[in-house]
Structure 1
Amino acid sequence: MTTDRPAKDQTAPANVAADKARMTRFLLRDAGVFLVLFVITAVFALTAPYFATSANVLKILVQVAINTVLAAGMTYVILTGGIDLSVGSVLALCTVVGALIMTSGLDPALSIPLAILGCIATGSFCGYLNGKISTYWKVPSFIVTLGMLNVAAGAARVLADNSTITGLPKGFVDFGNLIIGGFLPSIFLVALLVVLAGWFVLRYTVFGRMIYAVGTNEEAVRLSGHNPASYQIAAFTICGLTAGVAAVVYLLRLNIGSPIAGVGYELNAIAAVIIGGTSLMGGKGSIIGTLAGASILQVLATGLQLLGVGDNYKPIIIGGVIILAVVFDTYREKLLRRMN
């Protein structure tokens, strides 16, 4: 005679393993970058004079705003497996367009909103061209955006006649200098709103899910009845749009339109995205991580300056951090693939 014995629960070990895998993914892709930011900030707070002061914190928030906005748009492009090298020059062109509109003699109540729209429209158009040319003629985005980098830079010089444009309206300048609640610069608030909007779109909309899907498996997206090219074009257009918003932030911060603004900004934006955990291969990443990546770059630059590290050595250190982030991204992706 046999008696029924309760079967051993075989699901418990599997659940524990799954929980550990999820935690590892979270630490590798999401929480890890914030941990790095916390550690770097703590080290500089203990070693660099004046780093932990409220004045320096405000300075960091002001300085990180432009790169945060640029990197937010760059996140979309890299998630689809592309790259945009033109955002720095597009930003310069947009600052010239915006400054020319605001100094055209129109009433500030009209010229300021027109200038903001002009920056956004110019950036969006450049981004659309990047995406359209890249997808229609199957040209690598690296080449297309390298060409746009030169086109936008040249157009900025022509429009500005190789000169800096000054004399922006007082109301616009005053808003750029505004500190909300005594601790939040207005231009950082703009950057934060861009990041939050991007986070919502990528996380909670069908469009956002398709951006990830295009970067993960373009052919699968095509077989599901969607056109991957339309999402790639949209990603580049968004990247151009955020370059226009970044131009507005630049105008608010420096109060000038400059045809040489944005030199090297594209590399900082790409670095912020990669350091923030977005894979260069596309399909994986987070715009919140991009915010942390941009913050790491700015905290490093400010902390090294306060420690007295010379201007010749700072790029070496920051460049080394970027290389380490790319190497780490490669190993992280291999590890995550093994876990799937």
Structure 2
Amino acid sequence: MKPSRYEEAGVSIDAQDQAIEQIRGHVGATNTPRVLSDLGSFGGLFDIRFPEMDQPVMVASADGVGTKLKIAFDAEVHDTVGQCLVNHCIDDILVQGARPLFFMDYVATGKLKPHVVADVVKGMSIACKASDCAILGGEMAEMPGFYKAGEYDVAGFIVGVVDRKKLLGEDRVRAGQKLIGLAATGLHTNGYSLARKIIFEEQGLKLADELPGTGRSVQDNLLAIHRSYYKPLADLLDKDHIQAMAHITGGGFLDNVPRILPKDLSAHIAVDSYSVPPLFQYLVDKGGVDRDEAYRVFNMGIGMILVVEAERAASVTEHCAAQNLDPVALGEIKAGDGTVVLT
């Protein structure tokens, strides 16, 4: 048989077909009754009738997992980043009160390896099923010469829905409301470029080494799955017990909390109100990272911050503790200038 000219150029349609077959089961496992199309359609079909809502508002977001992928490449573990990607996207729309409906992905690589793509999508499937979110479709792109051997990039796109009267945000934030921090499971998906520089370049650690003070390997610390806060907080959202939320991603406390603040209010956060996890203590100490930069680069052990009415703080904290979110009283909203004040 005459060799395929396309394969000679570095692109294998057969490999793509193999990958599609390997992910078919993972994608199908996330189907909900609203999904009206099958894998392989040009576009995903989704039923958007919401008779239980007075005025449904669609909420959409897109994101990636940054240089956390470098850890996945070196460790040859690919399903965890798939879960991180989905959960990051879910948390991004959750802060506006939205529940996830469907997710779509984009995977690009220099040389398509079906089993690697299958592992990534397997992780996406695990996270989507856990949040009743369908994988509605996606794209695989083989781009020879564009990516290094063994590397790929992945991005996620999510759509959710919220009744307009339950939208969360700055218009519901008032002076006197309390801030409750919820524990992160690790770095989540941000700060990896600095973390990798400190751990590997400056301290000379390897993936299999124990990260001092943590009792876990470097690999386990850095591949810890980004937590989804959707299911644990769903009841509180239904009861309208949360006024606003900040997902602590790139930009940390200092850049993300202001996104939910009116211009005449500030968030006063007591950094000594909780114990910073050993992973972050190590990065700050060994990297010589000053306090303000640390709270702008890393999540410092807090993945989500809730804004609640003072009279609700105790019950919300109790609920979050029962959901194993390790809530802490971080501070409160005061008159100010739309910034975060670390105390």
**TM range, normalised to the smaller chain?**
under 0.3
Q: Return the structure number with greater helix share.
A: 1
Larger Rg: 1
Q: Given the two structures, how large is their TM-score scaled by the length of structure 2?
A: 0.24
Larger fraction in strand: 2
Q: Normalising to structure 1: TM-score of the pair? A: 0.24
